[in-house]
Structure 1
Amino acid sequence: MTKKQKMDLDAVNQQLDQFDQVVNSEKAMRKVTPQEKLRAGVDLGTSSIVLTVLDSKDKPIYGAFEYDHAVRDGLVVNYMESVRILEKLKQKAEDVLGVPLTTACGAIPPKTGEGSAKIVKNVIEAAGFICPAIVDEPTAAAKFLQMQDGTVVDIGGGTTGISVFQRGKLVEVLDEATGGFHMTLVLAGNQHIKADKAELIKRDPANEDEVFGVIRPVVEKMATITKTAVKTGVKQPVIVVGGAINFKDFIPTFSKTLKLPAYKPDYPQFVTPLGIAMFDDGKAE
């Protein structure tokens, strides 16, 4: 990583650290005036639905999330639950901010098709938003990271999405159905327990060392998938984001298999949701 890239990541981490302080805290980062133009992003994830709000200069203002089981492998499998949760998050955001939220963008894993994009847009609009755009998740992450050259790996609950950029242009996109949920399934099989119980065990920091020893092969598979994408693309830097990577041994294991250094922003679970909001231009498609 070059000195400039490190400085860029440091600036991103500063924003993420500040944003983490207000997520689900019933407060905004600052007071919002009725005249302000706000941007909103919705991340319908496998394990949670996240709503983020930025100001017109793309500075984070507010965020909230709720755990869910409405999405599987990047696809909405429970439409009504998704709408219900998003309606609740929207109302909560408007109560905290004191202004209505009119528009919000969404995202899907790369190459999951127009059908997936349409369903996500329908969920967002059924919750009371106008949806200006649906973008792919790693590209949203890259926008927040201000990525010009390098690779963004977005490891969500259901998929590993990879976007390779060169001089600010997307040159390669790859998506595989391997994510945090697959870690949970491996753990459930190892422990002979149900997936819901395994998910709770996986999230508990007290179990981190034991859990990671079991799910390590899944992490190595994610790195192998990434290696395929960067083989002919831009190699540096490789930035890994997503809620599934919050293990202290994740990045060392991932980098070893990738045979390239990989980097993790602070609070990587918020990178993609914040990037999604940056695509909200306040207009209908």
Structure 2
Amino acid sequence: MPQTVLKSCDQYVADFERVEKRPIKGKSQVYLTGVDLGTAYIVLVVLDKNKNIVAGAHRSASVIKDGMIVDYIGAIQIVRELKESLERQLDAELLYAAAAIPPGTDALDGGAIKNVVQGAGFELTALLDEPTAANTIVGLKNGAIVDIGGGTTGISILKDGKVIKSVDEATGGTHFSLVIAGAYKLSFEEADAYKRDPKHHKELLAVLKPVVEKVASIIKKSIEGMAVDVIYLVGGTSCLTGIETIIEKETKIKTIKPQNPMFVTPIGIAMNCSQDIIY
């Protein structure tokens, strides 16, 4: 099951990476967009009316902290600029969008996310939690989707394809960067950039092992007493080469991730977009 799912998920990601470089300009009457407001990046994924990925864009951003919007105006501006750029590339107007929030934070930040999406010129059609969005293309029936983002780690446990438990903890890529900054005497920005270069991952894995083990302990605590036989990693911080090996060793549960876990959640968000507007 996991290997089959992984191949399908990898194909979605490969499609996105391809159209981000070369959008597919067609004659679709309706376009559906996924908006992912992350701690490190804002990602937009555009589908045609048949749910084929036709365009996309992402930009580094610092408008979210620990899953909460801290720069509301900045978030609207970036989403609007990405939207307008994609509209020029497709020669079409993007009207409908879906978005997502960390699990369990809807009462705190759901309204803010909605306002950002609408403020950028979209009609919001769906607002769901991030791990559930990711599972739209992962397709796990039983197991745990773990979304390790910049500020938080979101965990959704699934049984028979339905989420039975969701958890969100404030540990993620920001903490990784802080550890690197301290170890290498770098500024936070320098450490963050250093972390993103795959050629440094092997060396960094030893430095970051205690933080990865903390993430693993959060996962273990969250799934305790649950029948979880596979952990599926998504989110930008999961890009760290070898992170899955440490988590599997600590949890003693098979842990897998796609080729580029950063884009799984945004693609899943887009797949949940429709023309049914949320008022």
TM over 0.5: yes
Structure 1 counterpart SS, 2:273: coil
Match of 1:252 among 245, 251, 254: 245
Distance 2:6 2:239 in 1: 17
Q: Which residue does 2:25 correspond to in 1?
A: 31
Q: 1:81 aligns with which of 63, 74, 77?
A: 74
Distance between the aligned counterparts of 1:170 and 1:261, measured in 2?
Answer: 19
Q: Which moved more, 1:143-152 or 1:78-87?
A: 143-152
* Alpha-carbon offset, residue 39 of structure 1: 1.6
Spell out structure 1 runs of 4+ moving beyond 4 A: none
Contact 1:201 1:207 in 2 (8 A): yes
C-alpha RMSD of the superposition: 1.4
Structure 2 residue 232 is matched with structure 1 residue 235? no
> Would you say the 8 A contact 1:171–1:233 is kept in 2?
no
Q: Which amino acid aligns with 2:26?
A: V
The offset of 1:234, in angstroms, is 3.4
Tell me if structure 1 keeps the 8 A contact 2:125–2:275. Answer: yes
Amino acid at match of 1:9: L
| 1:108 partner letter | I
1:10 aligns with 2:7: yes
Q: Given residue 19 of structure 2, which amino acid in structure 1 is its aligned partner?
A: V
222-231 vs 205-214, which deviates more?
205-214
1:177-192 matched pairs, under 5 angstroms: 177-192=170-185
Q: How does 1:123-134 map to 2 (within 5 A)?
A: 123-134=116-127
Q: What TM-score do you get using the length of structure 1 for normalisation?
A: 0.93
Aligned position for 1:200: 193
Contact 2:28/2:49 (<8 A) preserved? no
In the aligned structure 2, how far is the partner of 1:233 from the partner of 1:42? 31
Letter in 2 for 1:207: H
Structure 1 SS opposite 2:124: coil
Corresponding residue for residue 277 of structure 2: 284
Q: Please state if 1:40 is matched with 2:37.
A: no
Q: Cα distance, 1:111 vs. partner?
A: 1.1
CA distance in 2, matches of 1:101, 1:233: 41
Percent identity between the aligned chains?
Answer: 38
Alpha-carbon displacement from aligned partner over 1:132-182 (angstroms, at most 9, x marks no partner): 221110010011212222110000010000001111211111110001111
Where 1:53 maps in the other structure, the secondary structure is: strand
Q: Distance in 2 between matches of 1:246 and 1:34?
A: 33
Structure 1 residues 9 and 94 mapped into 2: Cα distance closer, same or farther (>3 Å)? same
Provide closer, same or farther for how the CA distance between residues 227 and 57 of structure 1 changes in structure 2, counting only shifts above 3 A.
Answer: farther
TM-superposed CA distance for 1:20, in Å, is 1.4
2:135: which partner in 1?
142
* Greater Cα offset, 54-63 or 196-205: 54-63
> Is the aligned partner of 1:114 residue 2:111?
no
Whether the 8 Å contact between 1:53 and 1:61 is mirrored in structure 2 is yes
Task: Tell me the secondary structure at the aligned position of residue 105 of structure 1.
Answer: strand
Q: Distance in 2 between matches of 1:205 and 1:168?
A: 33
**Residue 95 of structure 2 contacts residue 122 of structure 2 at CA under 8 Å; is this kept in 1?**
yes
Partner amino acid, structure 1, of 2:27: T
Is 1:210 the equivalent of 2:203? yes
For the pair 1:102 / 2:95, whether they are aligned, the reply is yes
CA–CA separation in structure 1 for the residues paired with 2:160 and 2:199: 42
Structure 2 unmatched runs, 5+: none
Q: 1:19 aligns with which of 7, 13, 16?
A: 16
Q: Distance in 1 between matches of 2:110 and 2:19?
A: 29
Quote the residue 1:220 is aligned against: 213
CA shift at 1:125, angstroms?
0.7
Partner of 1:164: 157
Q: Which moved more, 1:49-58 or 1:249-258?
A: 49-58
Which residue is equivalent to 1:51?
A: 44
CA distance in 2, matches of 1:34, 1:10: 27
- Establish whether residue 175 from structure 1 lines up as the match of residue 172 from structure 2: no
1:34, distance to aligned residue in structure 2 (A): 4.2
CA contact (8 A) 1:255 1:261 kept: yes
